[in-house]
């Protein structure tokens, strides 16, 4: 069997991270099995669907590295791939059900349906359609249609239980009587979701349906339709819901929920995919940090987990930081240059300096936009007001360090140096220790307080050679 899976978003908004996770799972499964990944646009909500959202979703998926084998923009032998362009297909498949006696025209008005529902509820009965139009003669149906009466098409629900095996939920059974005769085609000729998805999946030869748990109840109606068409249903995998830390369904109140926003915030697409992959699926070797695109056959559909997945932005940030640290230096620099303000002194430095700088500070960030605050310490001349700095400044040994370093920096600047070297810094430290006889805390905190105006901070052996000599000079003068 050739594996064929699909992701079928509605173009009524931007790509949600939950949708991105579903798309990724389908994409990875197709690649692991040597199959095809199809993008299908479910745009039957004519009032809310917009082509700009379709394009935006495709662009976001491509940014994530999720590319489809068939779809509205690349074509394929099972198109069209927009539901709005498949009306003739739905009409044909609807007629098949009518001809088999599995579906029928229903002329009941909204007012009549509401009245029936109220009566059933007053009798503590499930509000199912009572089958008023089910036994209308063919001639009567044709007469009413000829007279211009509006009608929906309803599916005649069999009185039986339905069961299926789910790759996440194991064996699932829907008992008899859960639903009544349901609408498959609206009066305006637009198909209802559960009908359209069956027609599309069947005609596109979809072999596996991987989707969110919230679609589990839809499976009952879909199984009924597959049975009526005498078509073997695809295999199903209903993956866990994404929830916030308050254990409520993930929504905007939990923070950014669209892929576009994460792109704007300069998250790495591999990191976002990595994190989403772990929300409902476990890596065979229990790894937390990996490139989903390199999983290959390690991605197994039977490794999905049932429990709701808690979306934790801190965990995402941690994984993003791990991916930042894995970047080659040149790629890292290209990302960093985009987030540092254009008027920042960083941009005036030479290439080698920039590479050394970002390679050092990458260890301290989880997002690219955090790096500016770290780089600022190389250019600031502000004096700390923290107690530990003031204490170090008050030691009787600190003025001796300041006097010595002032002379060394002046000499280096006079010699035309723009930066001091690591060798220079080591010589200074050795002189303070050997000649000035200053050791321990007073040595290291004393040098730091003089050269950085701080009591604590990054490794001096790295940041002092990165600090422009005129900045070091100004700090000495501002003591």
What's the pLDDT tens digit per position in 62-87?
A: 999 999 999 999 999 999 999 999 99
CA distance 133 to 386: 82
Sign of CA dihedral 265, 271, 276, 278: negative
Per-residue pLDDT at 251: 67
CA distance 130 to 374: 69
Per-residue pLDDT at 116: 87
State how far Cα 98 lies from the chain centre: 42
Query: Within the chain, which residues score under 70 in pLDDT?
Result: 251-256
pLDDT digits (tens, 9 = 90+) for 218-252: 999 999 999 999 999 999 999 999 988 878 877 65
Sign of CA dihedral 299, 305, 308, 310: negative
Q: Other C-beta atoms within 10 Å of 370: how many?
A: 15
CA distance 335 to 362: 11
Residues 6+ apart with CB under 8 A from 49: 10, 11, 12, 43, 84
């Amino acid at each position: 069997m050739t594996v064929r899976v699909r992701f079928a978003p509605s173009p009524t908004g931007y790509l949600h991270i939950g949708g991105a996770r579903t798309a990724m799972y389908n994409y990875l499964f197709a690649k692991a099995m040597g199959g095809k990944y199809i993008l299908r646009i479910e745009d039957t909500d004519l009032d809310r669907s917009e082509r700009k959202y379709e394009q935006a979703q495709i662009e976001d998926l491509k940014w994530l590295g999720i590319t489809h084998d068939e779809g509205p923009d690349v074509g394929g032998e099972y198109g069209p791939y927009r539901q709005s362009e498949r009306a003739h297909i739905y009409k044909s498949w609807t007629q098949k059900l009518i001809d088999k006696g599995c579906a029928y025209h229903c002329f009941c008005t909204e007012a009549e349906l509401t009245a029936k529902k109220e009566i059933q509820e007053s009798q503590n009965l499930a509000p199912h359609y009572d089958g008023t139009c089910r036994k209308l003669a063919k001639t009567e149906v044709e007469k009413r249609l000829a007279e211009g009466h509006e009608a929906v098409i309803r599916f005649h629900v069999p009185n039986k239980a339905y069961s299926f095996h789910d790759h996440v939920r194991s064996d699932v059974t829907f008992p008899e009587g859960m639903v009544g005769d349901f609408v498959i085609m609206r009066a305006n000729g637009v198909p209802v979701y559960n009908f359209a998805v069956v027609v599309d999946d069947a005609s596109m030869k979809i072999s596996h349906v991987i989707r969110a748990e919230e679609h589990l109840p839809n499976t009952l109606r879909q199984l009924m339709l597959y049975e009526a068409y005498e078509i073997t249903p695809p295999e199903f995998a209903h993956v866990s819901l994404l929830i916030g830390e308050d254990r409520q369904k993930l929504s905007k109140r939990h923070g950014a929920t669209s892929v576009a926003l994460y792109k704007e915030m300069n998250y790495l697409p591999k990191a976002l995919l990595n994190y989403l992959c772990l929300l409902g699926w476990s890596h065979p070797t229990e790894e937390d940090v990996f490139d989903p695109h390199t999983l290959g056959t390690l991605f197994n559909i039977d490794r999905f987990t049932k429990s709701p997945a808690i979306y934790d932005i801190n965990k995402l940030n941690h994984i993003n930081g791990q991916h930042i640290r894995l970047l080659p230096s040149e790629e890292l620099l290209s990302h960093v240059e985009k987030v540092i303000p254009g008027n920042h002194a960083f941009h005036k430095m030479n290439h080698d300096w920039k590479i050394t700088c970002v390679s050092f500070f990458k260890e301290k960030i989880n997002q690219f936009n955090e790096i500016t605050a770290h780089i600022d310490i190389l250019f600031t001349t502000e004096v700390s007001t923290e107690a530990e700095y003031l204490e170090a400044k008050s030691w009787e040994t600190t003025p001796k360090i300041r006097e010595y370093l002032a002379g060394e920096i002046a000499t280096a600047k006079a010699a035309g140096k723009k930066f001091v070297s690591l060798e220079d810094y080591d010589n200074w430290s050795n002189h303070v220790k050997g000649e000035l006889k200053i050791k321990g805390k007073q040595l290291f905190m004393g040098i730091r307080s003089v050269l950085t105006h701080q009591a604590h901070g990054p490794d001096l052996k790295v940041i002092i050679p990165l600090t422009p000599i005129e900045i070091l000079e100004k700090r000495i003068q501002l003591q």
